[in-house]
């Protein structure tokens, strides 16, 4: 198609609509071919390329399912209270308050304000990590020769900086992150045992317990010992659902969690969001 | 230069490249919550995950390098009488205390408030607070992932020494927590000693 004129260039650009790529958002999300809920409830459907990132604001009660279709995704995740980024994921509180270093079903992702940002409602992978954070420009340059966002081996922190910037946040707003689909265990002497992926098909479903800003970088785990930068696409689906309420099993699963839900409910009630 | 940091108090200081900071647990089992920043660019600050990555483990001791979020060295542990220190548990706060123990703890002192008040003297705010080191605090992780703050393995007079790998700003909260064994349920003073570069272990290399 001729692009030497403005009209031709316009026609050429417009003719691209409908092109399918492996990694892309499906808009509207209801067009996703195999929805895990009523199709009309989907609000986010995207495949994130290996070495790429995404971000979204999710309303309270939204469920977010991350899936590792090929077995080498690693979803590095940060959460912020939407519009109030001074309340954000606190990994130390998340593990300390719940007396558990390992992420899994039933665990709450706690903010630094004694409240719940999201809960883990389904986990079919069991290979996750709350201790090692993500990769950096320095570490990826050392391991793979480059870590810049446009390189073949982008670093998680560099991608988080971009995702943060698109939400009005700066590098100072990036605390330690969580990672899903690549496991780490702690030996008795405190050293790390990288357990890797559970294989293709694992998924994790998070439920937003407040309105949250979600940042996701899909990059290799920093403790992955393999010499190559191996990062396969990550599937992201989110749909309207209900937040955890008093009476749900998760609400009362632990005394610490119950108080976190109570604090969250009271905070929302005082904002007029019962 | 020697300074005694009273029980429950905050402390901060710029440590110049090559200088050493020795922290002495005067009475034993006192958790010393610790954050460190590049003194000239406080956006470059201690990162627990990068430190864990760099040394392949969660406990700090002699030889551990405290890494920034940009994966660059800030300080190195050059001596340690205790053997292990915590990277995982972070700081106590009024908010997390309500989850861990109950709402009756809300009026108690907590480390996050110390960090906020002391950090503000240097232009640091809440966004600058990240997961911190707890010197002398004992946080084992069981095989099933269960973790907790248990009785300390420190004792009166034990110390550790850190060498600054660049000019750094150190923020300390001498932990006021009274609901768990991190302080033996009894916060006590600690001593900070800063020594010049020419008298440090590093210069013997």
Provide, as residue numbers in chain A, all residues whose Cβ is less than 8 Å from the Cβ of B105. Answer: none
Q: What is the DSSP letter of A71?
A: S
Separation between Cα atoms, residue B91 and residue B149, nearest integer Å: 12
What integer is the mean pLDDT of A145-152? 98
Q: Which of A95, A172, A263 minimises the CB distance to B88? A: A95
pLDDT, tens only, B158-181 = 999 999 999 999 999 999 999 999
Q: Which of A138, A172, A176 minimises the CB distance to B71? A: A138
Separation between Cα atoms, residue A185 and residue A102, nearest integer Å: 8
Instruction: Check pLDDT > 50 for residue B205.
Output: no
- ipTM higher than 0.90? yes
Mutation target among B37, B64, B95, B119 for the A interface, most CBs of A within 10 A: B95
CB contact under 8 A, A100 and B146: yes
Provide, as residue numbers in chain B, all residues whose Cβ is less than 8 Å from the Cβ of A132. Answer: 49, 52-53
CB contact under 8 A, A191 and B102: no
pLDDT, tens only, A93-109 = 999 999 999 999 999 99
What integer is the mean pLDDT of B147-163? 96
Q: Is some CB atom of chain B closer than 8 A to the CB atom of A116?
A: no
Instruction: Check pLDDT > 90 for residue B203.
Output: no
CB within 8 Å of A138: residues ≥ 6 apart: A147, B70, B71, B72
What is the count of residue pairs from A and B with beta carbons less than 8 Å apart?
Answer: 143
Nearest of A75, A82, A37 to residue A58 by alpha carbon: A82
CB contact under 8 A, B48 and A133: yes
Decide: A77 and A179 in contact? Cβ < 8 Å. yes
Contact residues, A window 158-177, toward B, CB-based 8 Å cutoff: 170-177
Decide: A217 and A66 in contact? Cβ < 8 Å. no
Separation between Cα atoms, residue B9 and residue B25, nearest integer Å: 14
Give A62→chain B minimum CA distance, Å. 24
Give A200→chain B minimum CA distance, Å. 24
* Residue B197's pLDDT band (cuts 50, 70, 90): confident
CB contact under 8 A, A101 and B72: no
Instruction: Check pLDDT > 60 for residue B201.
Output: no
DSSP per-residue codes, A21-34: -SS-B-SSGGG-SS
pLDDT, tens only, B68-116 = 999 999 999 999 999 999 999 999 999 999 999 999 999 999 999 999 9
Please name the residue of chain A whose CA is at the shortest distance from the CA of residue B49.
A132
| pTM given for the model | 0.96
Q: Is some CB atom of chain B closer than 8 A to the CB atom of A182?
A: no
Nearest of B11, B51, B15, B1 to residue B32 by alpha carbon: B11
- Report pLDDT for A39: 80
Q: Which residue has the higher pLDDT, A274 or A4?
A: A4
Average pLDDT, chain B: 95
What integer is the mean pLDDT of B44-52? 98
Decide: A51 and A74 in contact? Cβ < 8 Å. no
What integer is the mean pLDDT of A261-266? 98
- Report pLDDT for A99: 98
- Report pLDDT for A109: 98
In the block, which residue shows the tokens 């590098």?
Answer: A171
CB contact under 8 A, A190 and B112: no
User: Residue A125: what are its φ and ψ, rounded to 5°?
Assistant: -105, -55
Q: Which of B47, B84, B146 minimises the CB distance to A190? A: B84
Token code pair at residue B126: 């809440």
pLDDT, tens only, A107-127 = 999 999 999 999 999 999 999
- Report pLDDT for A4: 96
């Amino acid at each position: 198609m001729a692009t030497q004129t403005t009209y031709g260039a316009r026609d050429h650009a417009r003719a691209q609509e409908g092109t399918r790529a492996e990694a892309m958002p499906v808009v509207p999300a209801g067009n996703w071919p195999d929805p895990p809920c009523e199709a009309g409830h989907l609000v986010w459907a995207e495949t994130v390329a290996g070495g790429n990132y995404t971000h979204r604001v999710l309303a309270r009660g939204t469920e977010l399912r991350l899936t590792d279709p090929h077995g080498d995704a690693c979803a590095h995740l940060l959460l912020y209270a939407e519009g109030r980024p001074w309340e954000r994921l606190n990994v130390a509180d998340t593990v300390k308050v719940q007396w558990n270093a390992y992420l899994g079903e039933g665990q709450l992702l706690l903010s630094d304000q004694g409240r719940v940002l999201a809960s883990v409602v389904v986990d079919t992978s069991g290979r996750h990590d709350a201790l090692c954070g993500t990769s950096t420009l320095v570490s990826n340059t050392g391991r793979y020769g480059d870590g810049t966002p446009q390189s073949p081996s982008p670093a998680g922190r560099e991608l988080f900086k971009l995702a943060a910037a698109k939400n009005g946040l700066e590098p100072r707003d990036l605390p330690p992150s969580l990672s899903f689909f690549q496991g780490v265990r702690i030996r008795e002497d405190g050293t790390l045992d990288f357990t890797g992926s559970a294989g293709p098909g694992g998924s994790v479903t998070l439920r937003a317990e407040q309105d949250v800003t979600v940042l996701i970088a899909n990059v290799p785990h920093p403790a992955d010992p393999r010499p190559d930068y191996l990062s396969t696409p990550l599937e992201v689906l989110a749909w309207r659902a209900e937040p955890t309420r008093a009476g749900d099993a998760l609400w009362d699963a632990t005394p610490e969690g119950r108080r976190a839900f109570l604090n969250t409910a009271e905070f929302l009630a005082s904002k007029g969001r019962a | 230069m020697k300074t005694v940091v009273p029980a429950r108090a905050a402390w901060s200081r710029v440590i110049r490249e090559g200088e050493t900071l020795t922290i002495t647990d005067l009475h034993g089992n006192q958790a010393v919550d610790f954050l460190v920043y590049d003194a000239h660019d406080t956006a470059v600050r201690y990162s627990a995950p990068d430190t864990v990555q760099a040394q392949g483990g969660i406990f700090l001791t002699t030889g551990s390098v405290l890494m920034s979020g940009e994966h660059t060295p800030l300080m190195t542990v050059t001596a340690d009488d205790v053997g292990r220190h915590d990277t995982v548990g972070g700081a106590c706060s009024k908010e997390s205390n309500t989850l861990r123990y109950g709402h009756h703890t809300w009026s108690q002192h907590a480390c996050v408030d110390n960090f906020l008040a002391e950090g503000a003297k240097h232009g640091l705010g809440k966004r600058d607070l990240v997961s911190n080191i707890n010197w002398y605090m004992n946080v084992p992780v069981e095989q099933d992932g269960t973790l907790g703050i248990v009785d300390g393995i420190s004792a009166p007079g034990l110390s550790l020494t850190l060498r600054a790998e660049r000019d750094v700003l150190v923020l300390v909260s001498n932990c006021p927590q009274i609901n768990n064994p991190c302080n033996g349920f009894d916060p006590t003073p600690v001593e900070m000693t800063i020594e010049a570069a020419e008298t440090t272990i590093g210069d013997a290399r």
